[in-house]
A and B are shown apart, each in its own frame.
Chain A
Amino acid sequence: EDQVTQSPEALRLQEGESSSLNCSYTVSGLRGLFWYRQDPGKGPEFLFTLYSAGEEKEKERLKATLTKKESFLHITAPKPEDSATYLCAVRAGYSSASKIIFGSGTRLSIRP
């Protein structure tokens, strides 16, 4: 069964304290792994797509990496405005209608 698991569920960091969020997946026919940011009361906002093991993408203080079994979202020297829930999702299957499976998210809180 296709599955996406994120850990930890919640993470509290001090401003400037770097860390990583984990997304492990079990899917057949991976067509892409995605990271989204979701602020309270808002819809998810797209951050990155990764397609193959070894690929990396960066945006400001965020860097996403991908292996054959998991992805990491590294946050370097975070600021309070990085506080949000980060969602991981995978697209499985090879048809144009292949479904996207979301993890339950990691709630990140950055203290000033």
Chain B
Amino acid sequence: EAQVTQNPRYLITVTGKKLTVTCSQNMNHEYMSWYRQDPGLGLRQIYYSMNVEVTDKGDVPEGYKVSRKEKRNFPLILESPSPNQTSLYFCASRHTGYNEQFFGPGTRLTVL
């Protein structure tokens, strides 16, 4: 089944404790992206990657890091999480040149 998977689905952590949210897709998509979704603000792009070893900032990159060492994986790293990073996070992927994005199921992160 073609899909985007994220882990963990739910995470409660404390300020300053480094964490990684994994994202994996099995559709051989070149483009991958991370979004956060907050009430009233819609989906905002954090980082995106056009292909392996190619990443770039989205609209809200502060406090986040990403890497793209393999085509299928695009982890999101929070080196020192803060309460304002409490949010619902989505990973998405698509083929370059196509507009349809496939989204993962989301990761609900709470930073205390």
Contacts and interface: CB of A to CB of B under 8 A. Distances in A.
Contacts of A45: 103
B26 to A, nearest CB: 15
B12 interface: no
Contact of A100 (B45, B56, B96, B104): B45
Interface in B2-16: 4
A56 B50 CA distance: 30
Contacts of B99: 31-32, 34, 49, 91
B20 interface: no
Interface stretch (A11-19, A65-73, A102-110): A102-110
Contact of B103 (A43, A96, A103, A104): A43
A97 B99 CA distance: 11
Contact of A46 (B59, B102, B104): B102
A112 interface: no
Contact of A44 (B56, B59, B90): B90
A42 interface: yes
A87 interface: yes
A104 B106 contact: no
Given A42-B106, A43-B90, A100 B42 contact: no
Interface of A: 4, 31-32, 34, 41-46, 49, 87, 89, 91, 96-97, 99-100, 102-105
Interface of B: 4, 35, 40-45, 48, 50, 56, 58-59, 90, 92, 96-97, 99-106
